[in-house]
Amino acid sequence: MTAHAVTHQIIATSSQSERKLFPIPGGVHPPENKSQSLNLPLSALPAPAKIILPLNQHIGAPAKPLVAIGERVLKGQLVASAKGFISANIHSSISGTVTAIEELPVPHPSGLPAMSIVIRSDNLDESVTYEPCENYFELPKEQVIAKIQSAGIVGMGGAGFPTSVKLGGRGKIEHLIINGTECEPYITADDILMQTYPQEIIEGVKLLAHLLGNPADVVIGMEDNKPKAFTALKEAAKGTNVQVVAFPGKYPSGGEKQLIQRLTGKEVPSGKLPSDVGAVVQNVGTVYAAYRAVKYGEPLIERITTVVGGALQKQGNVIVRIGTPVADALSEFGFKERQASQLIMGGPMMGFTLETAEIPIVKTSNCIIAPSYAEMPPVAPAQPCIRCGLCAEACPAGLLPQQLYWYARSEDHEKLQAHNLFDCIECGACSFVCPSHIPLVQYYRASKGAIRTEREEKAKSDRSRRRFEFKQERIAKAEAEKEAKRIARQKAAQEAQQKMAEQKAKAPPAAAAPATAESAEDTRARLERALASAQTRLESAQAKHAEAVAEGSDRVDQMAARVKQAELKVQEAQAKLSETQHTPTASTVDTNSDDPVARAIAKAQAKNAMSPLEKAQSNVESLENRLSKAQEKHQQALSEGADNASALLIGVNKLTEKLEQARTELQGLQAESLSSTEKPAAAPDDPAAAAIERAKAKAEAMASMSPKEKLENQIESLTGRIAKAEQKLAAAQAENADTVEALALGVEKLKAKLASTQQELEQLNP
Amino acid sequence: MSFISQSSPHAHATNSTQRVMLTVVLATIPGALAMVYFFGVGVIINLTLTIGFCLGFEAAVLYLRKRPIGFYLKDFSALVTAVLLGLALPPYSPWWMIFVGCFFAIVVAKQLYGGLGFNPFNPAMIAYVVLLISFPVQMTQWAAPVNLGDLPSISEALTKVFTGTAIDGYSGATPLDAFKQSESLTVADIYSQKPIFSEAFFAGAGWEWVNAGFLLGGLFLLWRKIFTWHAPVSMLAVLALMSIIFYDGSSESSAPVLTHLFSGATMLGAFFIITDPVSSAVSNKGRLIFGGCIGLLVFLIRHFGNYPDAVAFSVLLMNFAAPFIDYYTVPRSYGHSKPRRATEKVDV
């Protein structure tokens, strides 16, 4: 412990007895180092030559810039507006010209740059006129909260949560707790604020209490190392229901959850908000800013910041314009760059290092530390964890940091969550006490990040899985519908064919089929057109690609991909075209008939006979495709150790089964088609169609013959039939079948017919 | 200029692992001095040999494991193991036995598991048990305390340690041996007949002061917050309770409470062995259970078992159980109504 730690005056214990205090677990006592910055009175830093206003000075969505480059803005003018519910307005803190809106280094633990508005001062410090408000207790609460919202007030203790959101919250609030704890070493910004503006703070507390429906318990809590602030506030709070409480210091008693526990004994349940236990906590700085925003209409454009550290000639608190570069503040305090071991924004326990002093002071910047090497030497290399348990003793959240460290190193995310990693407030107490200098908090931050990413990815994959399953379902449904329709069509076609055959048997119709023949023509033409256009597209793509190559443009790859695509299209079109050119010839060979009706019918039959085979083939092909893809996916999942591997394996197995089925089906069909091709090609399967053909042939033959020839023909055929019938009759008699009589009758009838025909012929042939 | 970037916190307590280790070594001094006074120069030879061998083995394994030797030797964990082993072994033990012990402590029990922080068992106790089982004769020959006879001279001691030449009449029964071999004597008889008790103030000649020395060192460590009170207090309380329950003064009786607490390795075990954080339970509740079970086992083995003392066995048995205890003693965290089990499924 350094000497600074014990020099402060402890507030008399009588003031503590007014309220029952509750113990908080863990905690540490780092050297306070508060006295150095309390020697000088509060001063104001001159308006800077330029300000940088990051759009994400608060928690939530970054604000949306409202100004353009080159635009003149006034002090207090709104330059970026809140985007969404959890966001905050940003105002210019000087008058001048917007010179840039770009990504710049900002104060953020990640060290990543963010969009910022840069304004160069015109040294006029011309301000917009603010709208004061005296009767704010009489206005509707929403209107007052809107004033706080439009002034861009956010939590100034460090988190930067939009204040209006906290005030407009739900549920009944029993405790309004004003946080003046300032438990981090070095920082005295709130101390100075409470010493300097006690009256305004009390008025602000009254305002907030009013907005929250006047909770029964309104209390300002602070550590007992701020005697002046305590006395000042106590004095100002006389005659109000605002309680001012000081308690023995222990880091991190100023953490929101810890302060609630210290003052009310209530714990905010894990994953819940303070409002869930009826508490709202506001930092004193926020209260002051909110009060000024309502009473005087002032937006949040300045704050008190502690500038402290051994690498400075003098140390103290200053009022700075929001957006002032850290370098400006440091140079005002005689910064000796070479003596600084690092540059910290915030306190030494939870603050973050700045890589450059060109970073602006923002709404949440309560402290800038420029420590000397003696003050904060570079961290010693980490030694093995000996599980001494000092960290567990120090943890205010009651966690087991040594176990968390163990699981963080082995990336055991399940165990980390079982050990309540997400209840870690990253206060740094564990790292502070670790005798092996292990950067525990850093491990926890990294693990939290990894788990969050994992959760997001899981959610994403869940979504896509659901989408995939839904798609599969839809496809299956569509296929079933298609199949049903196909079957219906087939039935209808068969019925139609039967009908047609019947009709044909009576009188051979002329048309009906040409339509389909013509449509085949159409298809061919259409496909030819498609091929031609695909070729044109390919040519133009090739030309563009050549151009891109010549220019050395970075779109070459894209162009090459397009050429490839076009080539594929051309190939596809060619394939389709050749297919259609082949099929009709094949079917004409099959039928060998001049009659278009018969040809169409034959074609339809061929198609009917062929299509199951083709379908089976394409089915097998697509299944093979799907299987290989599924196997690939499964392999990938296995190698990545993803937990959907088993599900994928089941999919693969199912597909293999299906494929097997499809293959046997295909084989069956192939065998069938083979046997059917062995038969004479012209022999149609359908007896009805055969009858049609014979009937047609006969009809045509008859039409072209003379009556004599006809009769001769008839006689010939009758003689043939009689011979056949007699043959049949003989066979039946030999077998002694019961058809003998009928056959004999038939033969007699045929003989009678033959006799009458011969008579007719004799009449013609005298 | 670009400043260095590092994760918070930027302030650190001045505590360090080597400081913890050195404090532990420092705290053994009162007990060690008492041992030297009562058992002679053999204690110093023990310590010299264990420190030399342990650091040598540590350095050799670090070299083989391609680790920075200086960096790891400076954590002084091997020194602590060496000192504890040196104090646990009987003075005037042969050098080769100490060599074997140090090998098991550093190479097998510590470095083969990954070095400091990864050893599931207390290295010094592993070595002690290996030696006790392998060389029971040498391991049970304790020097008689100075008030019961002459101590060997330095040259006698060195000859004994390095050549094995026996020294006449230097060894004698320890207080716990005396109880183990009490035949049918009542407690009162033992106290009046056995010189180890008749010459003592309250628990056993020499041993009572050695244990008092370790108690003093332990209290110093508690004050320095090197460890929490849970494990030692729990162990001593259970041991005391058990010896009260089983004490009736007859020939079947347990040794009196003070004899249990102030003889053998009780205090060394309670404050220097079971408080080894690496191989013990992690939470305070877990440490209460851990220490209590050790106290219980120490009593059971001393009273019903074949060995006169039992700290090493008890510690090793409970080292086995430490992860199991941890599993059931995860403390309640802020914002949770009840503690979570370590294996509880979490909604991701």
Tens digit of each residue's pLDDT (9 = 90 or more) over A610-662: 566 777 777 788 888 888 888 887 777 777 766 676 777 777 788 888 888 87
Mean pLDDT rounded to a whole number for chain B? 89
Query: Which SS3 state, helix, strand or coil, does residue A305 take?
Result: strand
Clarify whether residues B149 and B229 are in a common domain: no
| B1 pLDDT higher than 70 | no
Whole-number pLDDT of residue A16? 44
| A509 pLDDT higher than 60 | no
The shortest CB-CB distance from B334 to any of A257, A385, A426 is to A257
C-alpha distances out from residue A609 to A576, A602, A621, B272, B328, Å: 21, 10, 20, 92, 73
Whole-number pLDDT of residue B317? 95
* pLDDT-above-90 percentage for chain A: 46
Whole-number pLDDT of residue A514? 47
Whole-number pLDDT of residue B342? 57
Whole-number pLDDT of residue B206? 87
Chain B nearest-CA distance from A355, in A, is 5
Instruction: Quickly count: other Cβ atoms within 10 Å of residue A555's Cβ.
Output: 15
Clarify whether residues B184 and B152 are in a common domain: no
Clarify whether residues B140 and B256 are in a common domain: no
The shortest CB-CB distance from B20 to any of A31, A272, A435 is to A435
Residue A702: pLDDT band (50, 70, 90) is: low
Contact B277 A386 (CB under 8 A): yes
Whole-number pLDDT of residue A589? 42
| A7 pLDDT higher than 90 | no
> For residue B125, which of B320, B270, B311 has the smallest C-alpha distance?
B311
Chain A residues 375-404 within an 8 A CB cutoff of chain B? 376, 378-381, 383-390, 392-393, 396-400, 402-403
Contact B2 A355 (CB under 8 A): yes
Clarify whether residues B222 and B298 are in a common domain: yes
| B110 pLDDT higher than 80 | yes
Q: Is residue B164 part of a domain?
A: yes
The shortest CB-CB distance from A431 to any of B4, B9, B336 is to B9
Chain A nearest-CA distance from B84, in A, is 17
Whole-number pLDDT of residue B201? 81
Q: Of the ranges A607-616, A703-712, B278-287, which one carries the lowest mean pLDDT score? A: A607-616
* pLDDT-above-70 percentage for chain B: 97
Clarify whether residues B164 and B195 are in a common domain: no
The shortest CB-CB distance from B334 to any of A342, A423, A458 is to A423
Tens digit of each residue's pLDDT (9 = 90 or more) over A575-606: 877 776 665 444 444 445 455 556 656 655 65
Total length of chain A = 766
A·B CB contacts under 8 A: 182
The shortest CB-CB distance from B228 to any of A342, A389, A445 is to A389
Cα separation, A406 vs A423, whole angstroms:
17
Residue B257 CB-half CA count within 13 A: 8
Average the pLDDT over A335-355 and give the result: 91
Chain B nearest-CA distance from A389, in A, is 7
Task: Determine the topology of domain A1-31+154-298 in CATH.
Answer: Rossmann fold (3.40.50)
Which amino acid, residue B73? L
Whole-number pLDDT of residue A472? 92
DSSP category for residue A340: B
Residue A2: pLDDT band (50, 70, 90) is: very low
Clarify whether residues B156 and B193 are in a common domain: no
Average the pLDDT over A333-349 and give the result: 91
3-state helix, strand, coil in chain B (%, to 5): 60, 0, 40
Q: Which residue has the higher pLDDT, B119 or B193?
A: B119
Domain containing B241: what range?
Answer: 174-328
| B232 pLDDT higher than 80 | yes
Strand A302-308, strand A316-321: pairing:
antiparallel
Chain A residues 600-619 within an 8 A CB cutoff of chain B? none
Q: Is residue B5 part of a domain?
A: no
Which amino acid, residue B67? R
Cα separation, B83 vs A537, whole angstroms:
87
Tens digit of each residue's pLDDT (9 = 90 or more) over A549-568: 777 666 777 777 888 888 88
Tens digit of each residue's pLDDT (9 = 90 or more) over A654-694: 888 888 887 887 777 777 666 555 444 444 456 666 766 77
Chain B residue with the nearest C-alpha to that of A457: B348
C-alpha distances out from residue B278 to A731, B88, B122, B222, Å: 108, 19, 8, 17
Clarify whether residues B153 and B284 are in a common domain: no
Last residue of a domain, one of B172, B193, B208: B172
Q: Is residue B285 part of a domain?
A: yes
Chain B residue with the nearest C-alpha to that of A444: B7
Q: Is residue B336 part of a domain?
A: no
Q: Is residue B7 part of a domain?
A: no
| Residue A123, phi-psi category: left (phi > 0), alpha (psi -120 to 50), beta (remainder) | left
Question: Please, which residues have CB within 8 angstroms of residue B6's CB and are 6 or more apart in sequence?
Answer: A342, A353, A379, A439
Q: Domain tally for chain B? A: 2
Whole-number pLDDT of residue A750? 86
Clarify whether residues B195 and B52 are in a common domain: no
Q: Which residue has the higher pLDDT, A5 or A59?
A: A59
Q: Which residue has the higher pLDDT, A658 or B73?
A: B73
Neighbour-count burial of A6, counting CB atoms closer than 10 A to its CB (0-12 exposed, 13-18 middle, 19+ buried): exposed
Q: Is residue B121 part of a domain?
A: yes
Average the pLDDT over A509-527 and give the result: 60
Residue A704: pLDDT band (50, 70, 90) is: low
Residues of A in contact with B11 (CB under 8 A): 30-31, 185, 348-349, 376, 432
Average the pLDDT over B307-316 and give the result: 91
C-alpha distances out from residue B167 to A303, B41, B50, B96, B161, Å: 83, 14, 22, 18, 10
- Pair of tokens at residue B214: 């370790």
Tens digit of each residue's pLDDT (9 = 90 or more) over A67-118: 999 999 999 999 999 888 889 999 999 999 999 999 998 888 777 889 999 9
Residues of B in contact with A331 (CB under 8 A): none
Whole-number pLDDT of residue B59? 96
Q: Is residue B2 part of a domain?
A: no
DSSP secondary structure string, A87-130? ---EE-SS-EEEEEEEEEE-S-TT--EEEEEEEEE-S---BPPP
Clarify whether residues B87 and B123 are in a common domain: yes
Mean pLDDT rounded to a whole number for chain A? 84
Whole-number pLDDT of residue A496? 87
Whole-number pLDDT of residue A597? 59
ipTM score of complex:
0.85
Q: Is residue B338 part of a domain?
A: no
Clarify whether residues B108 and B192 are in a common domain: no
Whole-number pLDDT of residue A594? 55
Instruction: Quickly count: other Cβ atoms within 10 Å of residue A341's Cβ.
Output: 21
Clarify whether residues B70 and B211 are in a common domain: no
